[in-house]
Amino acid sequence: MKKICVGVVFGGRSGEHEVSKQSAKNVMKALAEASFSVVPIFIDKKGRWFVEKDEVALVPAPGRGLRTITSQKTLKVDVYFPILHGTYGEEGTIQGLFEMAGVPYVGAGVLGSAIGMDKEAQKLLFLYHGIPTPHFEVVHRSEWHESTDRMLRLLAERVGFPCFVKPGNLGSSVGVTKVTRVGDLRRAVKEAFRYDVKILVEEFVKGREVDCAVLGNESPQVSLPGEIIPKREFFDYRAKYLAGDTEYKFAVPLPEHLKDKMMRTARRVFRVTFCAGMARVEFLLTKSEDIFVLEINTIPGCTSHSLFPRLWEASGMPFPRVVATLVELALERWQRKQSLKTTYKEGRFLR
């Protein structure tokens, strides 16, 4: 029996380019351990695609596949595994390309990916479905430049301090600042606008940072909760990837009713955001046992020390089994989609 060939797509035009490379390395190792054939597909910071030294392109037409630019040689790939964090990979753009090319791929589709990346969109869905999330205000670059002083006053009144200032579309805490006083708000907003044209200013909720990983399509399974205890001011980029001084607690000893509530909420968040394949849901758990959902991440970090693989390992599923399941889910979703009609004829009414 031939091995399934998985094309792992990584790198990309994003502030999370380096994190993507680390994640891809761990994913490719796990895929090899799970007996898949692997093709590394690297996207450089200019957006060019490479397989080893050959520049390649995925043709946006069914049946054309991945081809080398110079020789037009078709490369065999059965399923694509995007491990692109941030813009041009996690927010629906590459998923749209996969759809146009008619190929199976791991993870959420165009809509789920776009919602998972856009913090405002997902929070509006949370509110609509009655899922608690910290209060937030959205600021667009145009209105900020038109009336900066007025916006500063409004944010101080409506959100207060401490608060977090975040780019509207990005992950890995890139561009995120915790602000404790009004004098630092302007600088934090300026930093966030370096990465997006809209930002979120979100209230600070004191609580434990707890995450659940999710795996599945229509009937997702949820990992046991894991707790993040950063030794820095908050769980920022350095704490996640560079400092190595963050403490993690897996299979957190929570009361059974609270653990069940958190896992049920993670499953619900996965569904209401139209997610598929994989995700990580971030919570805040207060002393009064209130649960707030911070966000859902549709392509979570998969480095050797990232939360997503470690949450599953703590729940009894080794990472090679996780990636194998993701490939199975991608093929299942693609095959189901192939059974749908894409043409329509109504007999005499179209004559």
The tens-digit pLDDT sequence of the chain (351 residues) is 689 999 999 999 988 899 999 999 999 999 999 999 999 999 999 999 999 999 999 999 999 999 999 999 999 999 999 999 988 999 999 999 999 999 999 999 999 999 999 999 999 999 999 999 999 999 999 999 999 999 999 999 999 999 999 999 876 577 899 999 998 999 999 999 998 999 999 999 999 999 999 999 999 999 999 998 876 565 555 555 555 566 788 878 889 999 999 999 999 999 999 999 999 999 999 999 999 999 999 999 999 889 999 999 999 999 999 999 999 999 999 999 988 877 767 655 555
- In the chain, the number of structural domains is 3
Q: What is the dihedral of CA 115, 80, 268, 175, to 10 degrees?
A: -40
Decide which of 168, 203, 238 is a domain's last residue: 203
Examine the domain organization and report whether 89 and 143 are in the same domain. no
218 and 178 co-located in one domain:
no
Measured CA to CA, the distance from residue 190 to residue 50 in angstroms comes to: 35
pTM of the predicted model, to two decimals?
Answer: 0.90
pLDDT per residue over 290-347, tens digit each? 999 999 999 999 998 899 999 999 999 999 999 999 999 999 999 999 888 777 676 5
227, 291: one domain: yes
CA dist 298 and 114 (Å) reads 9
Both 299 and 215 in a single domain?
yes
Same domain, yes or no: 158 and 41 = no
C-alpha 192/C-alpha 164 separation (Å) is 10
Q: Whole-angstrom Cα distance, residue 285 to residue 263?
A: 13
Claim to verify: residue 326 and residue 221 sit in the same structural domain: yes
Do both 48 and 160 map to the same domain? no
- Tokens representing 87? 């813009």
Average pLDDT, the chain: 91
**Residues 30, 55 share a domain:** yes
Q: Looking at the domain assignment, is residue 91 inside a domain?
A: yes
User: Is there a domain that residue 323 lies in?
Assistant: yes
User: Do residues 250 and 226 touch, judged by C-beta distance below 8 A?
Assistant: yes
Half-sphere exposure of 85 (CA within 13 A, CB side): 23
Q: Examine the domain organization and report whether 54 and 148 are in the same domain.
A: no
3-state percent helix, strand, coil for the chain, nearest multiple of 5: 35, 25, 40
Domain match, 252 and 273 both = yes
Q: Are residues 190 and 244 in the same domain?
A: no
Of 153, 167, 150, the residue nearest 201 (C-alpha): 167
Last residue of a domain, one of 153, 188, 203: 203
Domain range for residue 175?
135-203
Q: Tell me, what's the pLDDT at 97?
A: 97
CA angle at residue 55 from 52 to 61, to 5 degrees?
Answer: 120
Predicted pLDDT at 247? 78
pLDDT value of position 271: 98
SS3 category, 349: helix
> Which residues touch 81 (CB under 8 Å, ≥6 apart)?
6, 7, 8, 9, 27, 31, 105, 106, 323, 326, 327, 330
CATH code (residue 164) = 3.30.1490.20
